[in-house]
Amino acid sequence: MEKKEKLNWTKKHLLGIEALSKEEILTILHQSTAFKSVLKRSIPKVPPLRGKTIAMLFCEPSTRTRSSFELAAKRLSADTLSVATSTSSFLKGETLKDTARNIEAMKVEMIVMRHGCSGAPHFLSQCVNASVINAGDGSHEHPTQALLDVFTIKEKVKKIEGLKVSIIGDIAHSRVARSNIFALTKLGAKVTVCGPKTLLPVGIEKTGAKVTSDLKEALEGADAINVLRIQLERQKEALFPTIREYTRTFGINAEVLRKYAKKEVLILHPGPINRGVELSQDVADSEFSVILDQVTNGVAVRMAVLFLLSLKK
Amino acid sequence: MEKKEKLNWTKKHLLGIEALSKEEILTILHQSTAFKSVLKRSIPKVPPLRGKTIAMLFCEPSTRTRSSFELAAKRLSADTLSVATSTSSFLKGETLKDTARNIEAMKVEMIVMRHGCSGAPHFLSQCVNASVINAGDGSHEHPTQALLDVFTIKEKVKKIEGLKVSIIGDIAHSRVARSNIFALTKLGAKVTVCGPKTLLPVGIEKTGAKVTSDLKEALEGADAINVLRIQLERQKEALFPTIREYTRTFGINAEVLRKYAKKEVLILHPGPINRGVELSQDVADSEFSVILDQVTNGVAVRMAVLFLLSLKK
Amino acid sequence: MEKKEKLNWTKKHLLGIEALSKEEILTILHQSTAFKSVLKRSIPKVPPLRGKTIAMLFCEPSTRTRSSFELAAKRLSADTLSVATSTSSFLKGETLKDTARNIEAMKVEMIVMRHGCSGAPHFLSQCVNASVINAGDGSHEHPTQALLDVFTIKEKVKKIEGLKVSIIGDIAHSRVARSNIFALTKLGAKVTVCGPKTLLPVGIEKTGAKVTSDLKEALEGADAINVLRIQLERQKEALFPTIREYTRTFGINAEVLRKYAKKEVLILHPGPINRGVELSQDVADSEFSVILDQVTNGVAVRMAVLFLLSLKK
């Protein structure tokens, strides 16, 4: 682990990638590399957060991200406390502000929050002294997902600067897409977002991302493709005609990759995969898929985030 | 922390305040002060319950009290085990006695129990060797809530003896009210309970509490006011006419406090607050509100209870 | 605890009793005795799994077995991580293989799995590097239950070889029955299974067990009787006429024991008991009932299993 002095970290909360500088992102990635090597030890546990309690405030269902954060916390010797779940009565009849102040009053050191409303973790961070980590808020940001995506690409290609990375799917409703665009752009990658016109948000080009509904354009020359999960419930909202139609036009399979993409293109997916919908069986399991590396790196990246934020209390 | 010898603690279970002596209550409060200072350390964790397991047997939904007990357990280095929740199948097709004996057979050291039936923790304590802590049973007692309420008042006013403390709301169905009456009376406070006649239990004056349905009488000269949460479902049972009517007659707001109460009266509430119903927005957030101190003190008081009970095995 | 060298343990997974040798079963029982003495210490915790994480993947509801495994893990100083529950969204829209690979990618050391499908833990073990422990799969096996049953009988009678053990109830759908038959037979006991003809699986006699629908035959000369829980939902499937009829014909009560059984016969039950259905009140609480010993021994046996599997990584 890096010495505290050298790290030069000043942030107390991780609310989104948009507010991070390139240097801060690189510090997190650097620290993640250190923790990834810890995870390979026979006793993959280090003491920096011993005696600290990290509250898990998951107001939307999530086993995947919650498990990853819990594992990261335990690998750092922290205790975790589940203060709310999507099925809990904690939030009933109580404003978010009251919830925030109650958690604050219990004197936990950090709060990992997932919430259906964009901006909820930002609001929480203004009410509490604890560090707040955004584990996904509405359609806004999912910063640790973007960090683990970028870490995974960098680990494989050795750089981010100058790469072409394409994000395919429901860009409009995706906090993963937004956080990825910020992270990749700040590190010098060229980002293309691609999906049905109804799933492309107005004004997204202001982020510096190129926007297209032509899969060929997105795939051509791409070094990495981040395939988003199709939320099947969006179809009911009539944002795309049928699943079959979506798969035919935007589904990533061996054929479209062979026709349009570079041979060694990386395939990312935030999981869980709808196999045969946004991603075909063979591509999900191909040698170019780094989907399971993303899961492994997620623990290391979240350890890095928890560790760095704990330096600034 | 106090030495074991000096503490002179003999109880094995905490089932209610009614069975505690004044000296025992004072010992818990004294120990709570010691643990409150632990919670201010940079590593707020102490080792007395290392290696011990505390089972959480919550047969009614509760995130707030459960979180506070879990945090208290972790701050004492205990492990916690969730053996049942309100949604668990643990209790199905099984008598409470069988549940008790099963938990006992797993050899946990302590059991924190919340149950919808009055007396359930008492019954549990007769079936097991483990220490049993009542975290709220039916309309009977909620001893740790009363202890943290009393601790909070004492912390602010420096004494309990001779104070006038008024409890406002649904006294008939409130375990919080009952435990508070016992704790405050034993420590020499004068307690007044106040609410609609339908929510005042018959015979409550035998506890030594003064009973009234006149808010003015309850507020006049009070040093602290404990505002109970209105259980909105009681209205369906026709125990009070409308929420609006309740708020107009018994709601605590700046105006009634200015008209009737002492200037520096403390405002307590067990949470979660129905803002604008039993307590107005401005009073809940005023300088006289100690509602968040109650939450903070809850962890210290529960540490004290767990610690003291662990001395008597 | 035994030294690693002496233990001579080679298995990485515990998927069922069928694949274990007599020597392996004896090693687990031997190790369980050592851990049972640990559980009697004032600090009942040992360090062998410190820093290791054990994922709990319970895809069917279970508080009883899950609590026992969690307690065993904590007593060995391991961390536990609940990666899925029967109500979790983890498995939605995802194949078991993807779930397996995701857990694997998070780099946990062991996975305790309960699943409604026979063979699911076996499949999981082929996808992951982590050790897999079967905590009950469909109607296939529940190996730790059989091990704790055998341990409990051996503890009381001092041997297994040559004993007559009868298993009464729904043999066809019982993973407990199957695992018990394997364990008892391998250790030299004579097993009789007894139940309504509709609940006796075709070909079960190939396991070496004697099959009967005559309770008298099952009870006569038996050293231990393992009374299975009647799954009341089986009646809807018309596999037996009425509960009352079942109780009259196969229910174990003081009268049938007096008429047919040896005086000092042991009574086992995997819990939770339907009192008055498969087992009468008085027999469940009699001096011959070892049902609560089973619960206590369950923690020791699961500690032994987790510890032994951790030796082979």
Angle separating helix axes B291-311 and B64-75, nearest 10 degrees: 50
- B117 pLDDT above the threshold of 50: yes
Angle at A190 between CA A290 and CA A114, to 5 degrees: 60
CB C17 within 8 A of CB C146: yes
- Whether A98 and B299 lie within 8 Å, measured CB to CB: no
In this prediction, residue B91 carries a pLDDT of 52
**Helical ranges in B117-253 per DSSP H:** 120-127, 143-157, 175-186, 215-219, 243-250
According to DSSP, the residues that pair with A165 across neighbouring strands are A191, A224
CB C169 within 8 A of CB C229: yes
Instruction: Please state, in angstroms and rounded to a whole number, the distance separating the CA atoms of residues A85 and B62.
Output: 12
In this prediction, residue A56 carries a pLDDT of 94
Which pLDDT band holds residue B176 (cuts at 50, 70, 90)?
very high
* Main-chain phi, psi angles of A294, to 5 degrees: -60, -40
Of C62, C272, C299, the CB nearest to B107: C299
CA-CA-CA-CA torsion sign (B264, B269, B271, B272): negative
C interface mutation test: which of A37, A56, A64 has the most C CBs within 10 A? Answer: A64
Which residue shows structure tokens 């001096």?
C287
CB contacts, 8 Å: A79 with chain B: 74
Half-sphere exposure of B152 (CA within 13 A, CB side): 29
Instruction: Please state, in angstroms and rounded to a whole number, the distance separating the CA atoms of residues B168 and B218.
Output: 8
Instruction: Please state, in angstroms and rounded to a whole number, the distance separating the CA atoms of residues C119 and C126.
Output: 11
- Whether A107 and B68 lie within 8 Å, measured CB to CB: no
CB contacts, 8 Å: C108 with chain A: 71
Sheet with A131-137: list strands edge to edge: A79-84, A53-58, A110-115, A131-137
In this prediction, residue C2 carries a pLDDT of 45
Which residue shows structure tokens 């009560």?
C253
B238 token code pair:
């026709």
Question: Residues 228-267, chain B: which have Cβ within 8 Å of A?
Answer: 232
CB C43 within 8 A of CB B50: yes
CB C263 within 8 A of CB C291: no
Burial of A163 (0-12, 13-18, 19+ CB in 10 A): buried
For residue B114, the distance in angstroms to the closest alpha carbon of chain C comes to 17
Sheet with C110-115: list strands edge to edge: C79-84, C53-58, C110-115, C131-137
In this prediction, residue B231 carries a pLDDT of 82
Residue A62 or B250, more confident: B250
Low-confidence residues of chain A: pLDDT under 70: 1-6, 84-93, 234-235, 313
Best CA proximity match to B211, nearest among B168, B255, B254, B158: B168
C171 token code pair:
């043999």
In this prediction, residue A4 carries a pLDDT of 47
Helix (H) or strand (E) holding B67: helix B64-75
C101 token code pair:
């690979």
Instruction: Please state, in angstroms and rounded to a whole number, the distance separating the CA atoms of residues C143 and C20.
Output: 10
- Whether A90 and B63 lie within 8 Å, measured CB to CB: yes
Q: What is the DSSP string of chain C?
A: ---HHHH----S-B--STT--HHHHHHHHHHHHHHHHHTTSSS----TTTT-EEEEEESS--SHHHHHHHHHHHHTT-EEEEEE-TT-STTTTS-HHHHHHHHHHTT-SEEEEEESSTTHHHHHHHH-SSEEEEEEETTTB-HHHHHHHHHHHHHHHS--TT-EEEEES--TT-HHHHHHHHHHHHTTPEEEEE--GGGS-TTGGGGT-EEES-HHHHHBT-SEEEEPPP-GGGTTTTSSS-HHHHHHHH-B-HHHHHHHB-TT-EEE--S---BTTTB-HHHHTSTTB-HHHHHHHHHHHHHHHHHHHHH--
In this prediction, residue B22 carries a pLDDT of 97
- Whether C106 and A74 lie within 8 Å, measured CB to CB: no
CB contacts, 8 Å: A63 with chain C: 83-84, 88-90
Best CA proximity match to C35, nearest among B49, B83, B107: B107
The pLDDT mean for chain B works out to 92
Q: What is the DSSP string of A150-174?
A: HHHHHHHHS--TT-EEEEES--TT-
- Chains near B, with 3+ CB pairs < 8 A? A, C
CB contacts, 8 Å: C67 with chain B: 55, 81-83, 106
In this prediction, residue C312 carries a pLDDT of 81
**What's the DSSP call for residue A46?**
-
- Stretch B37-59: mean pLDDT: 94
In this prediction, residue C171 carries a pLDDT of 95
Which residue shows structure tokens 């015979």?
B203
- Whether B292 and A102 lie within 8 Å, measured CB to CB: yes
Cis peptide before C121 (omega within 30 of 0): no
Low-confidence residues of chain C: pLDDT under 70: 1-6, 84-93, 234-235, 313
For residue C114, the distance in angstroms to the closest alpha carbon of chain B comes to 15
Question: Residues 52-81, chain B: which have Cβ within 8 Å of A?
Answer: 61-64, 67-68, 70-71, 74-75
CB contacts, 8 Å: B114 with chain A: none
Instruction: Please state, in angstroms and rounded to a whole number, the distance separating the CA atoms of residues C242 and A177.
Output: 58
**What's the DSSP call for residue B18?**
T
- Whether C273 and B98 lie within 8 Å, measured CB to CB: yes
CB C305 within 8 A of CB C28: yes
CB A305 within 8 A of CB A14: yes
Query: What is the number of other CB atoms lying within 10 angstroms of the CB of residue B158?
Result: 7
According to DSSP, the residues that pair with C166 across neighbouring strands are C192, C225
Instruction: Please state, in angstroms and rounded to a whole number, the distance separating the CA atoms of residues C313 and C304.
Output: 16
Question: Residues 36-55, chain B: which have Cβ within 8 Å of C?
Answer: 50-53, 55
Instruction: Please state, in angstroms and rounded to a whole number, the distance separating the CA atoms of residues B85 and C62.
Output: 12
In this prediction, residue C1 carries a pLDDT of 46
Which residue shows structure tokens 């632990």?
B38
CB A194 within 8 A of CB A220: no
Helix (H) or strand (E) holding B53: strand B53-58
Q: How far is CA A72 from CA A10, A82, B49, B220, in A?
A: 21, 15, 25, 54
Burial of C263 (0-12, 13-18, 19+ CB in 10 A): exposed
What is the distance between the terminal CA atoms of chain B, rounded to a whole angstrom? Answer: 19
Q: 3-class DSSP state for residue A53?
A: strand
Q: 3-class DSSP state for residue B271?
A: coil
B179 token code pair:
């435990």
- Whether B51 and C68 lie within 8 Å, measured CB to CB: no
Within 8 A by CB and 6+ apart from A202, the residues are none
- Return the amino acid letter for A109: E
A154 token code pair:
């960098």
Best CA proximity match to A217, nearest among A253, A247, A259: A259
pTM given for the model: 0.93
Angle separating helix axes C291-311 and B96-105, nearest 10 degrees: 40
Angle separating helix axes A143-157 and A22-38, nearest 10 degrees: 70
- Whether A93 and B61 lie within 8 Å, measured CB to CB: no
* Main-chain phi, psi angles of B241, to 5 degrees: -60, -65
In this prediction, residue B248 carries a pLDDT of 95
Of A62, A64, A74, the CB nearest to C53: A74
Residue B93 or A300, more confident: A300
CB contacts, 8 Å: A272 with chain C: 90, 92-94, 98, 102
- Chains near C, with 3+ CB pairs < 8 A? A, B
Q: Which residue of C has its CA nearest to A275?
A: C94
CB C287 within 8 A of CB C177: no
Within 8 A by CB and 6+ apart from C276, the residues are C247
Q: 3-class DSSP state for residue A191?
A: strand
Burial C57-88, CB ≥16 within 10 A → b, else e: bbbbbbbbbbbbbbbbbbbbbbbbbbbbbeeb
According to DSSP, the residues that pair with B289 across neighbouring strands are B267
Which residue shows structure tokens 């003291």?
B308
Of B55, B93, B107, the CB nearest to C39: B107
Say how far residue A250 (Cα) sits from the centre of its chain: 22
- Whether B84 and C74 lie within 8 Å, measured CB to CB: no
